[in-house]
Amino acid sequence: MLKNEEGKFIINTYNRQPDFTPLIIKGKGTLVWDEKGKAYLDFVGGLAVNALGHAPPSVIEAAWEQMNKVIHTSNLYYSEPQIKLARCLVENSPADRVFFCNSGAEANEAAIKLARKYSKLYLGSGKFEIITALNSFHGRTLATVTATGQEKFQKGFEPLLPGFRYARFNDLDSFRAQLNDSTCAIMIEPVQGEGGVHVATVDFMVGLRRLCDENGILLIFDEVQCGTGRTGKFLACEHYGVQPDIFTLAKALGGGFPIGAMLCREKVASGFSPGDHASTFGGNPVACAAALAVMQEILQEGFLDNVITKGNYFQDKLRLLKEKFPGVIVEIRGKGLIIGVELKEKGSAVQRSCQEKGLLVNCIGDRVLRFLPPLNVSREEIDEALEVLSRSLEEVFSGE
Ligand SMILES: *Cc1c(COP(=O)(O)O)cnc(C)c1O
């Protein structure tokens, strides 16, 4: 069996288990099929990547058309899809300019480098520290894993990068307390994904913007997971009426193709000059063509409103489930179609049970189930997922 060879040839970083982890052969919409032909409702969605579901026709068509023209050119030359995508992103966000890369970590890495370079040029020497939130997730490169406020991702990779401080999410005083003469930026996720689906409060977001303005420092939003329509707005920060100086996108942007983007205001962009930063694959024509197709789809009239409606529907139904299983579901959190269900315990067991019954859901730690269905998921599919979840909770917690 091919699956058994994974443990022999691939470095063991993902904890997949041949007797349990499906090998996914194909997908269509919200459904995927494994090697035995078993179908699953996919509410993991490639970890917030497959925003339009599997095999999205518009993305396939755009990528296919571009592949037949040119697959890669390097950034020595102009690229048609890259310029078109950049224009679309700028026209639909607070940003004036874009830097393209290939992943979330790389986008955040670019944001960190730009914040440092900009500060040297405009804020004076000695300003390089970035304050991030505890429980955040910003990526796995050395700089972004240092920015990530969770020790479990950092352990063993010391010495970490100098210049990071941590403060409590949704606690403005905690951020204020970390501010000092060396601070050049604050970086947060408006909705913490990997940290267990925690939504920023309006007061916190507005307060951070004011704190940054008062101190002449940059506000960076990591929208890698919560951006690109996931919360029912193109950017999660739109819910708050708060604009960042720099923000990052990745995950859903390419509809499954790897692409990342770091976007910023004109003045901030001037921190970078030719030669300061680069990426060989960054802004790859096929990935950009795919991303443009994703953008065109999610910006269609009513699409994002529908994400909010379906997210509310999903959360309302989960609240009914919370009443049905008192004490088992501790809290339901989320915005749009990023939803966390915190259980009192046994998250992995519930995840396992759901999978056996044909529902893929992600479990963070051992207590938080994270739902990231495609943005075009149907109500019927949400109902079906809820029905499986209900049966799984019954199974795992019966007799308690
Ligand atoms: C996933 C994620 C990243 C890292 O993205 P990669 O593409 O895995 O490098 C960074 N920030 C947030 C908020 C994420 O959810």
102 Cα nearest atom in ligand 1: 7
d(CA 93, CA 303): 17
DSSP conformational letter for 174 = H
Tens-level pLDDT at each residue, the chain (400 residues): 899 899 999 999 999 999 999 999 999 999 999 999 999 999 999 999 999 999 999 999 999 999 999 999 999 999 999 999 999 999 999 999 999 999 999 999 999 999 999 999 999 889 999 999 999 999 999 999 999 999 999 999 999 999 999 999 999 999 999 999 999 999 999 999 999 999 999 999 999 999 999 999 999 999 999 999 999 999 999 999 999 999 999 999 999 999 999 999 999 999 999 999 999 999 999 999 999 999 999 999 999 999 999 999 999 999 999 999 999 999 999 999 999 999 999 999 999 999 999 999 999 999 999 999 999 999 999 999 999 999 999 999 987 6
Which CATH number fits the domain that encloses residue 393? 3.90.1150.10
Exposed, middle or buried: residue 230 (CB in 10 Å: 0-12, 13-18, 19+)?
A: buried
The alpha-helical segments, DSSP class H, found in the chain are: 2-9, 45-48, 57-69, 80-91, 104-118, 142-147, 151-154, 172-178, 202-215, 266-269, 285-298, 303-324, 347-356, 379-397
Instruction: Please check whether residues 252 and 105 belong to one and the same domain.
Output: yes
Which strands sit side by side in the sheet containing 362-364, from one edge to the other?
329-335, 338-343, 368-371, 362-364
Which CATH number fits the domain that encloses residue 175? 3.40.640.10
pTM for this one?
0.98
Domain count, the chain: 2
Instruction: Please check whether residues 14 and 63 belong to one and the same domain.
Output: no
Instruction: Please check whether residues 83 and 223 belong to one and the same domain.
Output: yes
Instruction: Please check whether residues 254 and 383 belong to one and the same domain.
Output: no
Our mutation pick for probing the ligand 1 site, out of 194, 199, 223, 237, counting the most ligand atoms within 8 A of Cβ, is 194
Pocket of ligand 1 (CB under 6 A): 103-105, 108, 137-139, 189, 193-194, 222, 224-225, 250-251
Token couple for 150? 């969770």
Q: Which domain holds residue 39?
A: 2-55+302-397
Instruction: Please check whether residues 76 and 223 belong to one and the same domain.
Output: yes
47 Cα nearest atom in ligand 1: 1
Token couple for 208? 């951070």
d(CA 368, CA 19): 24
